[in-house]
Amino acid sequence: MKIILASASSRRQELLNRLTESFEIIISDFDEESIKFNGQCDSYVMRLAEGKALNVCQGINDEAIIIGCDTIVSFNGKILGKPKDENEAFDMLKLLSGNTHQVYSGIAIINSKTGNVSRDFVCTDVKFDNLSDDQIKRYIENGEYKDKAGAYGIQGYGGIFVEEIHGCYYNVVGLPLNKLSKMLRGMGINL
């Protein structure tokens, strides 16, 4: 059966490639602003993931499995999205410095023929080392913070900030492989 990843993220594409090399990319143009944060990170990321998957599903005529995913960073009940500029990135990293934050990924899988939907989420605790202003500024200068929730990429240079991780590493990268694999098997897809 055809598998479609509803994401422009090169990180998600690379990770899904570990489960199967046979998938298509259709980028969702779902309006994430249409989903209001209700204070519950788990339900919020699942609704975002489902919105992306449904958006792509509407344009599919063949039978396919569509995978939608969304990842957010949360600290003290506040969502830290993708920073709009260097100043916002600095503020986010300063906030995370010396603290533990949560990374949530929601996954939604839709069978375009049956309409069956499977939703779930993963949460990982990430503890940052104490960061100096100079460390943060050097990191921002390399540009890695761009297009990253919480202004860092654990799989890149940002990984040196991480003192501890409790939970799924791949969740922090953007696609929790173990959870996705279980969900696909639950829908009869064995990769």
Residues with a known catalytic role: 70
Which residues neighbour 84 within 8 Å (Cβ) at sequence distance 6 or greater?
A: none
Cβ–Cβ under 8 Å, residues 16 and 80: no
What is the C-alpha separation between 25 and 123, in angstroms, rounded?
Answer: 25
What is the C-alpha separation between 22 and 32, in angstroms, rounded?
Answer: 27
Cβ–Cβ under 8 Å, residues 72 and 35: no
The H or E element spanning position 123 is strand 117-128
> CA of 4: how far to CAs of 28, 54, 90, 95, 179, in Å?
11, 12, 35, 36, 17
Which residues neighbour 182 within 8 Å (Cβ) at sequence distance 6 or greater?
A: none
Cβ-based neighbour number of residue 64 at 10 Å: 20
SS3 78: strand
